[in-house]
Amino acid sequence: MTEFVIRTEGLVKDYGSVRALDGLDLRVEQGEVFGFLGPNGAGKSTTIRLLLDLLRPTAGRVEVFGTAPADDPSVRGHIGYLPGELAMRGRRTAGELLGHLASLRGGAGADRIAPLAERFGLALDRPVRALSKGNKQKVGVVQAFMHAPELLILDEPTSGLDPLLQREFLDLVVETQERGATVLMSSHVLSEIEDAADRVGIINAGHMVDVDDVATLRHHAGQSVELRFAHPVDVAIFAELPGVQDPVVEGATLTCVLHGEPDTLLKRAAEHHVVGWSAQYRDLEELFLDFYRLPTDTAEEVAA
Ligand SMILES: Nc1ncnc2c1ncn2[C@@H]1O[C@H](COP(=O)(O)OP(=O)(O)O)[C@@H](O)[C@H]1O
Ligand SMILES: [Mg+2]
């Protein structure tokens, strides 16, 4: 039987007249890295705050480790939480703040502050209020991971980290999974989490619209492909190829969306002189526009 570390059923949350969550069902399995994806305003942070009992549901059920967070505050001690918006003020240095947080946890993780800070290039002797957004994010990462919690709930963890540190962060997530922990991390960009996530749930307008493993989602999202030829080519030769969508030729450049394997497209292209190429997995906004066939104006609203 699958064990769910996180389970919500029909979760509803209203802020006054704004319905932020509209019957959200979320299940995160023991030991998986679950990517929680959706455009800004979709309800990711609201869901996360409900999981941590920072908010109470309007209707529906929340369970973390099999109990409602409101019924058993001790569950919080097994969770590492990285908030989406970190408020860090005061004169304390990053090292003092992190040391203080460790002492609140009975000293757990104090010995991991220095190695984690070094790994992410965080200066521990600077006052937190003087830190850049990226450095504040690093403080957030260290405090979430340092006590080796069984569950990590990370709200847009890679935002503000430069690409090299994003990679370092994803390595840390994978190591965390390898020691048996469960990870839920949100993002509005698939490419920021797809390398670490086993499954991805897409939330839009307060409910789950799709849950898939990452390979399936990549297949649905497709890749944006550009092929540059030495001479102009006829678009018709690419039109009927399997997996090729919306081929357009301008001059000697073909652009299209590719679903699945590139094999037939590459073989057809290779019949001509190819001088350049690129292929990129498309981001979530494009996936929303395309895979879910949302009308453009709705998609713009949800992405706003
Ligand atoms: N404190 C709040 N008061 C009123 N509306 C809120 C509040 N927090 C979030 N919302 C609204 O709830 C919806 C979901 O927000 P949020 O959970 O922050 O989404 P996400 O994290 O996916 O960007 C949005 O429409 C947002 O404007
Ligand atoms: Mg958010």
The string of pLDDT tens digits covering residues 114-144 is: 999 999 999 999 999 999 999 999 999 999 9
Q: Is the CB of 245 under 6 A from ligand 1?
A: no
- Can you read off the two tokens belonging to residue 301? 């609203």
Give the confidence band of 112 by pLDDT, cuts at 50, 70, 90: very high
Residues 47-85 as b or e (16 or more Cβ within 10 Å = b): bbbbbbbebebeebebbbbeeebeeeeebeeebbbbbee
pLDDT in tens, 60-90: 999 999 999 999 989 999 999 999 988 887 8
Q: What is the layout of strands, in order, in the sheet containing 223-229?
A: 244-250, 253-258, 223-229, 274-281
Which residue has a Cα nearest atom 14 of ligand 1? 43
- Report residue 193 as tokens: 């989490």
Among protein residues, the one whose CA lies closest to atom 24 of ligand 1: 41
Q: What is the pLDDT of residue 295?
A: 45
pLDDT at 301: 43
Q: What is the pTM of this model?
A: 0.83
Residue 18 beta carbon below 6 angstroms from any ligand 1 atom: yes
Q: Above pLDDT 90, what percent of the chain?
A: 76
CA atoms within 13 A on the CB side of 17: 0
Most informative mutation of 11, 45, 46, 50 for ligand 1 (most atoms within 8 A of CB): 46
Mutate to test the pocket of ligand 1, among 18, 187, 207 (most ligand atoms within 8 A of CB): 18
Ligand 2 geometric centre to CA of 299 (Å) = 18
Tell me, using a 6 A CB cutoff, whether residue 280 lines ligand 1. no
Alpha helices in the chain (DSSP H): 44-51, 94-104, 113-120, 133-145, 163-178, 190-193, 214-221, 236-239, 263-269, 284-290, 296-303
Strand-pair category, 274-281 with 244-250? unpaired
State whether the beta carbon of 247 lies less than 6 angstroms from ligand 1: no
Helix, strand or coil, per DSSP, at residue 185: strand
Rounded to the nearest integer, the mean pLDDT of the chain is 90
Q: Indicate if ligand 1 lies below 6 Å from the C-beta of 256.
A: no
pLDDT for 294: 45
d(CA 14, CA 52): 17
The model's pLDDT over 20-74, given as tens digits with 9 standing for 90+, comes to 999 999 999 999 999 999 888 999 999 999 999 999 999 999 999 999 999 998 9
Cα of 49 to ligand 2 centre, how many Å? 10
pLDDT at residue 289 in the model: 62
To 5 degrees, how large is the angle CA 62–CA 66–CA 67?
60
85 lines ligand 1 (CB under 6 A): no
Please work out whether the CB of residue 201 comes within 6 Å of at least one atom of ligand 1.
no
Mean pLDDT of 237-246: 93
Task: Please tell me the residue having the least CA distance from ligand 1 atom 18.
Answer: 45
Q: Which atom of ligand 1 is found nearest the CA of 18?
A: 5
Would you say the CB of residue 39 lies under 6 angstroms from ligand 1? no
Pocket residue to mutate for ligand 1, from 24, 45, 285, most atoms within 8 A of Cβ? 45
CA of 39 to the centre of ligand 2 (A): 9
For the stretch 185-240, pLDDT in tens is 999 887 788 889 999 999 989 999 889 898 787 777 789 999 999 999 999 999 99
